[in-house]
Amino acid sequence: MTLTKHVSVMPVETLEALAVRPGGIYVDATVGGGGHTELLLEASSPDGKVIALDRDDAAIERAAKRLEAYGDRVSFFRGTFDHIEEALDDMGITGVDGIIADLGVSSDQLETAERGFSFSHAGPLDMRMGVQGGETLASFLGRVSEHDLANVIYILGEERASRRIAKAIKTAWKQGEIKDTVELANVITHAQPPKVRYGRLHPATKTFQALRKAINKEHESLQAFLPAAFRRLRFGGRLVVLTFESGEDRIVKEIFRTLSKEENGQLLSRKPLVPTDEEQRANPRSRSAKLRGIERLEHGQKPQNKYRAEGVTKQ
């Protein structure tokens, strides 16, 4: 099988935020290409352990091949990251020292046309991050009303032309004119005003983002995952999340704020960290990345007035 093309974002900042130590137990809640998993294994050597989760069998297979030299120091669990407590229970683990979640779609998924994420290469109307069960994009487009589709595109994609796009999609769908992702992208493109149609960003980007989020229930999973992950941290353990879209970052910010006020959590920084200029030049897909972290304090331990910025690279 082809090894991953995915490049892990903000690797140094992630390890510093997690304060990885030898012998610790860590969770990579979105294994993807296995990049962050390998970093955790290296930083926690010689005897640290990592539990790697992903809903995508192909991602787990690639990561397992990449990481086979680490033996039983790494364990894999197939499922969405909001099932983190189930995964840990299955392994008899009550608490961990750190958890990383790198949100969004990996380069491997984007560049595999048959997964249906790409608007540049024709693929089926699928968009499921895990191909076992769940509703496909084709099924969704067939049943959703124009009104509800417009709401999905506007809320999850922050697309201003959502109503025009939804109308165009439903009209083309009823006429049998959308059979693959490229045809869908063309319909979206022609529904956009000229200034967007010929702009820097592909005119279908926001709509594809919204549809992917809806199909995979990404916001719902994230909202369930964050408090569940925090509960499974040992005292002094840290939860770090990398987001690439403003909607996800808002969810993380709000839930972290609640955890810091109601569950004795300590934010690692007031503002999210972002990639260095050097990393953004080397890996353009990192440009929108934001890193937020929170530490679980002991019962009765007072949160510090200052943010726990030690070990966290300032930008």
Tell me the one-letter amino acid at 260: S
Extended beta strands in 164-258, E state: 233-243
Beta carbons within 8 Å of 120's beta carbon, 6+ residues apart: 182, 185, 202
Q: What is the pLDDT of residues 249-291, one digit of tens each?
A: 999 999 999 999 999 999 999 999 999 999 999 988 888 999 9
Average pLDDT of the chain is: 89
Residue spans in the chain of domains classed CATH 1.10.150.170: 134-216
Cα 180 from Cα 177, distance rounded (Å) = 9
105 vs 82: which has the higher pLDDT: 82
Distance separating alpha carbons of residues 159 and 204, to the nearest angstrom: 10
| Start-end of CATH 3.40.50.150 domains in the chain | 11-108+218-296
Q: Of the candidates 262, 120, 138, which has an alpha carbon nearest to the alpha carbon of residue 211?
A: 138
Tell me how many helices (H) and strands (E) the chain has: 14, 7
> In the chain, what percentage of residues exceed pLDDT 70?
88
Amino acid making up residue 215:
I
Q: Residue 1: what pLDDT? A: 41
CB 204 within 8 A of CB 188: yes
Element (H, E) at 277: helix 277-282
- By DSSP bridging, strand 265-267 and strand 233-243 are unpaired
**11-108+218-296, which class in CATH?**
alpha beta
Name the amino acid, one letter, at 146.
E
Please say whether the beta carbons of 62 and 1 come within 8 A.
yes
**pLDDT (tens digit, 9 = 90+) per residue, 113-157?**
556 677 888 899 999 887 566 899 999 999 999 999 999 999 999
Q: Mean pLDDT check: name the lowest of 6-20, 214-228, 298-312.
A: 298-312
pLDDT bracket for residue 307 (50, 70, 90)? low
pLDDT band at 55 (very low <50, low <70, confident <90, very high): confident
Dig out the tokens for 208 from the structure.
């594809």
- Classified as helix, coil or strand, 224 is helix
The residues with which 265 forms a beta bridge, in sequence order, are 296
User: What is the CATH code of the structural domain delimited by 134-216?
Assistant: 1.10.150.170
What does the pLDDT read at residue 197? 87
Residue 27 and residue 51 in contact, taking contact as beta carbons nearer than 8 Å = yes
Tens digits of residue pLDDT in 9-54: 999 999 999 999 999 999 999 998 899 999 999 999 999 999 999 9
CA 203, chain centre distance (Å): 22
> What pLDDT is recorded for position 311?
45
- Using pLDDT thresholds of 50, 70 and 90, give the confidence band for residue 313: very low
